[in-house]
Structure 1
């Protein structure tokens, strides 16, 4: 009996060790591209003169490179009406900044980046944001009628197409919650947006409690940027869904006129924004 048991153990070891062959899979690698993080956000009620743009290079998915910051680029934004230029100087770590920017609502600007003999161009309009009418908290109206939520109310201007972008973040969060909405079916009405969290042990998330702090950013955005960020949010939400659609390459508005195939990733956005810190009671 002991002899047969030894044979079975040997057989099991042979079966398992025979399944440890290494399979090499060739993963296609894309050519590195310039990545542009150019969110020109004008805090409502401020001058908006201090602005920053970050430039990096994309890397293969399995690459462990720690430094992809872009140095030595030439970066400027031009007001298309006045032709006033705002030069962004290299601050190091891929950051380019200026303290002289002049934001004007409904004004169109052009971003120009020159790097390693390539020129990248993007055009956008500084989009205003309406005032927040009321911020309150409640337990009714969200997905869970027992969970605390913060409610943001604002009045949508009538007879015009508007798009809004919200960034919600609880103090201590690693990633924010993002929401982009149009006024397609709510034109001219009082609108409400809420931020709520439900208990989720898998990700270590808990409901809001009195004393918790939430940071809220409310942007007015262009239709062009709405289309971009809405797709980006959809791809992000589908990342954990095994039945979700396969993510596709999402192009921003940074083009390369002389070499269209060598476009840049990212987006040039100009947005007026309201920032609010809310403490739950």
Structure 2
């Protein structure tokens, strides 16, 4: 056991200890219908309080098969250890299975690429003129996007937002939702406003900022993964829930093996829209 923090308040001393974790293969896999270059990122997990960049898992064999019999082999990048690349474009309705061979172990995961609605518009307004809402934007400009959910239950989505081509990637920026109770209806207000920056002082966008919103279809399993990831990464306070692993769909083909992997593999159709903040 390794002591990682000591906190003192008045006369009480609290020592927080965590066991050293066993390194695991970590998978970041995504197939998109918008790019001809797909990337699977493999790294080695590290202890919770280790702030060093995760080492790439080099030397793996990686491929993706679809339900039409196509096989896409991935080649490791010469520039970034652990990045595996392949040239193909995902298609709506296809099922994709990821296969990984690494250090004598074989892993796999399966996902389907679902439909996604278009983004109709993005509205930007001065924070002073904006109606009260579930986000803290008290200065600058507040953005809101509009889209209609596709009729037919069982759709899941993720929203990604870029400010001047930089992804908003604070834990609170992880935004996913499902169509329960809103099937076929306009996206609800908290989702529409989730594209705003997160800051303690409530500062929103500035004049001249470019805002790009991407709407991604995801599977139910990916929805649960990102939902739990958001919960874990925004988990704060001394008496918050204990650190726990988020779910994964990466399975060792040999169920008797002690070697497990973490991370997630999913596929998305993507719609996007961008605007520039003006007066």
> Which TM bucket (shorter chain)?
0.7 to 0.9
Q: Which residue of 2 aligns with 1:186?
A: 182
Please point out which of 111, 115, 124 is paired with 1:137. 124
Structure 1 residue runs without a partner (length 5+): 1-23
Please point out which of 88, 93, 108 is paired with 2:74. 88
Identify if the C-alpha distance between structure 1 residues 245 and 64 changes in structure 2 by more than 3 Å, giving closer, same or farther.
closer
Q: Is residue 2:145 matched to residue 1:164? A: no
Contact residue 169 and residue 214 of structure 1 kept, 8 A: yes
Displacement of 1:71 in angstroms is 1.3
TM-score, normalised via structure 1 length: 0.79
Q: Which residue of 2 aligns with 1:111?
A: 98
Structure 2 residue runs without a partner (length 5+): 1-14
Contact residue 168 and residue 178 of structure 1 kept, 8 A: no
Q: Which residue of 2 aligns with 1:128?
A: 115
Identify if the C-alpha distance between structure 1 residues 136 and 59 changes in structure 2 by more than 3 Å, giving closer, same or farther.
same
Alignment deviations for residues 4-35 of structure 1 (CA, whole Å, 9 cap, x no partner) = xxxxxxxxxxxxxxxxxxxx987421211001
Contact residue 138 and residue 203 of structure 2 kept, 8 A: no
Q: Is residue 2:41 matched to residue 1:54? A: yes
Q: Is residue 2:24 matched to residue 1:37? A: no
Aligned-partner Cα distance in 2 for 1:215–1:276: 6
Q: Which residue of 2 aligns with 1:265?
A: 262
Identify if the C-alpha distance between structure 1 residues 174 and 157 changes in structure 2 by more than 3 Å, giving closer, same or farther.
closer
TM-score, normalised via structure 2 length: 0.80
Q: Which residue of 1 aligns with 2:85?
A: 97
Q: Any idea what SS the aligned residue of 1:227 has? A: helix
Identify if the C-alpha distance between structure 1 residues 141 and 132 changes in structure 2 by more than 3 Å, giving closer, same or farther.
farther
Cα RMSD of the aligned pairs, angstroms, is 2.6
Identify if the C-alpha distance between structure 1 residues 243 and 123 changes in structure 2 by more than 3 Å, giving closer, same or farther.
same
Identify if the C-alpha distance between structure 1 residues 229 and 25 changes in structure 2 by more than 3 Å, giving closer, same or farther.
closer
Comparing 49-58 and 65-74, the one that deviates more: 65-74
Aligned-partner Cα distance in 2 for 1:67–1:230: 23
Q: Is residue 2:141 matched to residue 1:154? A: no
Identify if the C-alpha distance between structure 1 residues 145 and 68 changes in structure 2 by more than 3 Å, giving closer, same or farther.
closer
Please point out which of 249, 254, 273 is paired with 1:253. 249
Aligned-partner Cα distance in 2 for 1:64–1:280: 35
Larger radius of gyration: 1
Contact residue 160 and residue 167 of structure 2 kept, 8 A: no
Aligned-partner Cα distance in 1 for 2:147–2:51: 45
Displacement of 1:63 in angstroms is 4.8
Q: Which residue of 1 aligns with 2:276?
A: 279
Q: Is residue 2:221 matched to residue 1:233? A: no
Displacement of 1:140 in angstroms is 2.2
Q: Any idea what SS the aligned residue of 1:156 has? A: coil
